[in-house]
C-alpha cells in the first residue's frame, strides 16, 4: 500500500517533447491508416501514406477530421480496435440527433486518469484533498473524467454530479472539501445557494475551483474569486479528443492552459483558409491524439478559438489562451451543448409550429437561460399556443437534456431575415 500519487509531473524539455511527438505521431498515422477505413480513404484521397510524414510540420499536408466524419461512422466506425477491447463509451449530443460516440481502451482510461491527475495537481490539488465533483456523471465526460483523475492523484472523491443545489451546499458544509470541480456557471448557483442559506461563501473549506466545459471570462474569475475566496482555474477538453484534461491552467501562474503535449499535438489554423498559423496568432484549435488507442483522431477541428503560447509553469508544454468562443453557433446552457438546428429539428415535429424561431440567451440570475421564441401556424388558436410550447419544452428536455422555455408567438411576430436567418439573440 502506498498513499503516494500514482503519477508524476513530467519534467521534460520542449525539445524532448517535440522528439517524442514525432515518433508517436508516425505511429498514430500508421495505425489509423491500417485500422480505420475513414482514415485510409481520407489519406488515399489526399494522395498520402503515413510515411509521407517525416517532420511534425508535414502534418499540415494531412486531411482534417470533423465532427461530421465522426458522425458518419456512428456508432463505432471510428474505432481503431475491435469493440471488445473498448472498456468504456462516452458521447456528446449533436445536431442531427446522432450523438458523437467515443471509446476508450483500458490503457486510454489509464492515460486519461493520469492526465486528469496532472491537471488537478497543476490546479493546486494534492493527494489527500477532498474533491467535490459537481460535473455531470454519465455519457458526458466531465464527471467520470474528474472522478478518476482525482482518485489517481490520491484524493478523496465526492461524486455529487450536477443538480440539487441545496444538497451540494449541505455536502460542502458537512464534508469540507478543499477542491471543487464544476462548470463556472453552476458554481455561481452554488454560491447563491450558500448565501441564501446565510453562509458566507468565503467561510467554507473550498480553496480551489477547477472550472471548464463552457466558456468563461477573466471577469468571471475575478467575481468568483472575490465572492468565494478560492483560486479559480481553467480546465479544457472535448469528448472527441478525450474529455477534460487536455489542457489545464496552473494555479501558480493563472495565465492560460498548458496543453499536455506528450499526448496531444496542437495546431491553430485560420478558420476560413485552414492554413496553419504561427504560435501567438488566434484561430481554430486543431488537435491530434498521440497515444490514444481506441479512437485516435488526426487533425480534429475543435471549432474552439484560441492561440498557442510558450510554456511558463511547465516549460516543456505550450499553453493555449482561454477559449474565446467557437467558430459556429453552439450555445451552452448549464454545461449542456445545444445548437439552434437541434431546436429546429424538434420544433418541426410539433404540428402547429413553424420554422420561424429565435433562440434568446439571457442570464436573469447567474445561470444562462434559453428561451425559444417560435411562431405558431396561422391555424392555431391563441388558447392552444401554451400547449404547443410545453410540448416543445418536453422534446428539448428529452432529446437534448436541457430545460428551456418556449414562447409560442403569433404568426409574423419575429423579424424575417433577408439573408441568413439570425437564430441566436444573445442578451446576456
Q: In the complex with ligand DLL, which residue's Cβ is closer, 50 or 335? A: 335
| Interacting span for ligand DLL (CB under 6 A) from 14-22, 36-44, 238-246, 265-273 | 238-246
Residue 160's alpha-carbon distances to 41, 81, 144, 169, in angstroms, are: 44, 33, 11, 11
Of all residues in the shown chain, the one whose CB is closest to ligand DLL is 212
Question: Among 142, 96, 72, which Cα is nearest to 399's?
Answer: 96
Lookup result for grid cell 490520491: 154
Does 214 engage in binding with ligand DLL (CB under 6 A)? Answer: yes
To the nearest whole angstrom, how small is the minimum distance from the Cβ of residue 402 to ligand DLL? 12
Which is it for the CA torsion 363, 368, 374, 380, positive or negative?
negative
Candidate list 105, 111, 185, 239; residue touching ligand DLL; CB under 6 A = 239
| Interacting span for ligand DLL (CB under 6 A) from 22-30, 133-141, 149-157, 225-233 | 133-141
Candidate list 94, 162, 177, 215; residue touching ligand DLL; CB under 6 A = 215
Candidate list 21, 105, 141, 291; residue touching ligand DLL; CB under 6 A = 141
Does 231 engage in binding with ligand DLL (CB under 6 A)? Answer: no
Alpha-carbon gap, residue 223 to 89, rounded angstroms: 36
Does 39 engage in binding with ligand DLL (CB under 6 A)? Answer: no
Instruction: Tell me the three state secondary structure of residue 341.
Output: helix
Whether residue 229 contacts residue 180, with contact meaning beta carbons closer than 8 Å, is answered with no
- Residues in 277-296 that interact with ligand DLL by CB under 6 A: none
Does 136 engage in binding with ligand DLL (CB under 6 A)? Answer: no
Question: Among 145, 158, 159, 150, which Cα is nearest to 127's?
Answer: 150
Whether residue 158 contacts residue 151, with contact meaning beta carbons closer than 8 Å, is answered with no
Residue 398's alpha-carbon distances to 93, 141, 403, in angstroms, are: 12, 19, 9
Does 237 engage in binding with ligand DLL (CB under 6 A)? Answer: yes
Element (H or E) spanning 95, and its range? none
Does 162 engage in binding with ligand DLL (CB under 6 A)? Answer: no
Q: In the complex with ligand DLL, which residue's Cβ is closer, 56 or 139? A: 139
Candidate list 21, 65, 92, 291; residue touching ligand DLL; CB under 6 A = 92
Q: In the complex with ligand DLL, which residue's Cβ is closer, 131 or 213? A: 213
| Interacting span for ligand DLL (CB under 6 A) from 35-43, 191-199, 229-237, 339-347 | 229-237
Long-range contacts of 246-249 (CB under 8 A, 24+ apart): 246/115, 246/287, 247/319, 247/320, 248/118, 248/119, 248/122, 248/123, 248/210, 249/122, 249/123, 249/322
Alpha helix stretches (DSSP H) within 162-294: 165-175, 184-196, 218-228
Question: Among 183, 195, 128, which Cα is nearest to 157's?
Answer: 128
Count of C-beta atoms within a 10 Å radius of residue 328: 12
Candidate list 326, 399, 422, 423; residue touching ligand DLL; CB under 6 A = 326
- Which grid cell is 152? 489517481
To the nearest whole angstrom, how small is the minimum distance from the Cβ of residue 326 to ligand DLL? 5
To the nearest whole angstrom, how small is the minimum distance from the Cβ of residue 152 to ligand DLL? 16
Q: In the complex with ligand DLL, which residue's Cβ is closer, 304 or 375? A: 304
Does 180 engage in binding with ligand DLL (CB under 6 A)? Answer: no
Binding mask 354-373 for ligand DLL (x = CB under 6 A): --------------------
What are phi and psi for residue 425, nearest 5 degrees? -115, 110
Candidate list 43, 79, 121, 236; residue touching ligand DLL; CB under 6 A = 236
To the nearest whole angstrom, how small is the minimum distance from the Cβ of residue 212 to ligand DLL? 3
Whether residue 228 contacts residue 206, with contact meaning beta carbons closer than 8 Å, is answered with yes
Does 342 engage in binding with ligand DLL (CB under 6 A)? Answer: no
Question: Among 100, 95, 68, which Cα is nearest to 342's?
Answer: 95
To the nearest whole angstrom, how small is the minimum distance from the Cβ of residue 5 to ligand DLL? 21
- With CB under 6 A as the rule, give the number of residues binding ligand DLL: 22
Does 209 engage in binding with ligand DLL (CB under 6 A)? Answer: no
Does 244 engage in binding with ligand DLL (CB under 6 A)? Answer: yes
To the nearest whole angstrom, how small is the minimum distance from the Cβ of residue 184 to ligand DLL? 9
To the nearest whole angstrom, how small is the minimum distance from the Cβ of residue 278 to ligand DLL? 23
Does 135 engage in binding with ligand DLL (CB under 6 A)? Answer: yes
**φ/ψ bin of 91: left (φ > 0), alpha (ψ from -120 to 50), beta (otherwise):** beta
To the nearest whole angstrom, how small is the minimum distance from the Cβ of residue 38 to ligand DLL? 19
Instruction: Tell me the three state secondary structure of residue 370.
Output: strand
Question: Among 374, 375, 370, which Cα is nearest to 360's?
Answer: 370
- Interface ranges with ligand DLL (CB under 6 A): 92, 135, 140-142, 212-215, 234-239, 243-244, 302, 304, 323, 326, 337
Amino acid at each position: 500500500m502506498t498513499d503516494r500519487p500514482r503519477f508524476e509531473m513530467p519534467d521534460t524539455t520542449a525539445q524532448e517533447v517535440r522528439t517524442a511527438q514525432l515518433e508517436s505521431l508516425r505511429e498514430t498515422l500508421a495505425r489509423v491508416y491500417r485500422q480505420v477505413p475513414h482514415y485510409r480513404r481520407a489519406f488515399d484521397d489526399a494522395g498520402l501514406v503515413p510515411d509521407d510524414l517525416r517532420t511534425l510540420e508535414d502534418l499540415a499536408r494531412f486531411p482534417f477530421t470533423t465532427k461530421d466524419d465522426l458522425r458518419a461512422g456512428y456508432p463505432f466506425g471510428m474505432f481503431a480496435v475491435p469493440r471488445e477491447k473498448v472498456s468504456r463509451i462516452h458521447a456528446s449530443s449533436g445536431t442531427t440527433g446522432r450523438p458523437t460516440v467515443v471509446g476508450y481502451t483500458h490503457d486510454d482510461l489509464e492515460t486519461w486518469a493520469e492526465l486528469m491527475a496532472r491537471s488537478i495537481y497543476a490546479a493546486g490539488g494534492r493527494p489527500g484533498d477532498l474533491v467535490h465533483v459537481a460535473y455531470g456523471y454519465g455519457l458526458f465526460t466531465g464527471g467520470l473524467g474528474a472522478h478518476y483523475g482525482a482518485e489517481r492523484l490520491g484524493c478523496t472523491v465526492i461524486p455529487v454530479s450536477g443538480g440539487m443545489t441545496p444538497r451540494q451546499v449541505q455536502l460542502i458544509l458537512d464534508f469540507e472539501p478543499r477542491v471543487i470541480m464544476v462548470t463556472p456557471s453552476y458554481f455561481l448557483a452554488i454560491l447563491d445557494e450558500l448565501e441564501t442559506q446565510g453562509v458566507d461563501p468565503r467561510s467554507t473549506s473550498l480553496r480551489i475551483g477547477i472550472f471548464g466545459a463552457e466558456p468563461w471570462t477573466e471577469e468571471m474569475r475575478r467575481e468568483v474569486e472575490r465572492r468565494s475566496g478560492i483560486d479559480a482555474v481553467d480546465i479544457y477538453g472535448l469528448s472527441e479528443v478525450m474529455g477534460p484534461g487536455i489542457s489545464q491552467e496552473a494555479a501558480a501562474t493563472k495565465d492560460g492552459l498548458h496543453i499536455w503535449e506528450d499526448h496531444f499535438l496542437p495546431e491553430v489554423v485560420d478558420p476560413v483558409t485552414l492554413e496553419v498559423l504561427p504560435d501567438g496568432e488566434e484561430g481554430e484549435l486543431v488537435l491530434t491524439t498521440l497515444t490514444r488507442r481506441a479512437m485516435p483522431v488526426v487533425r480534429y477541428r475543435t471549432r474552439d478559438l484560441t492561440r498557442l503560447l510558450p510554456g511558463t509553469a511547465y516549460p516543456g508544454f505550450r499553453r493555449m489562451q482561454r477559449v474565446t468562443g467557437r467558430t459556429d453557433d453552439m450555445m451552452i446552457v448549464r454545461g449542456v451543448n445545444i445548437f439552434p438546428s437541434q431546436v429546429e429539428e424538434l420544433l418541426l415535429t410539433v404540428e402547429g409550429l413553424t420554422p420561424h424561431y429565435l433562440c434568446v440567451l439571457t442570464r436573469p440570475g447567474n445561470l444562462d437561460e434559453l428561451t425559444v421564441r417560435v411562431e405558431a401556424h396561422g391555424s392555431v388558436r391563441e388558447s392552444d399556443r401554451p400547449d404547443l410550447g410545453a410540448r416543445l419544452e418536453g422534446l428539448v428536455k428529452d432529446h437534448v437534456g436541457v430545460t428551456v422555455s418556449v414562447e409560442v408567438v403569433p404568426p409574423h411576430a419575429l423579424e424575417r431575415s433577408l439573408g441568413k436567418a439570425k437564430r441566436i439573440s444573445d442578451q446576456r
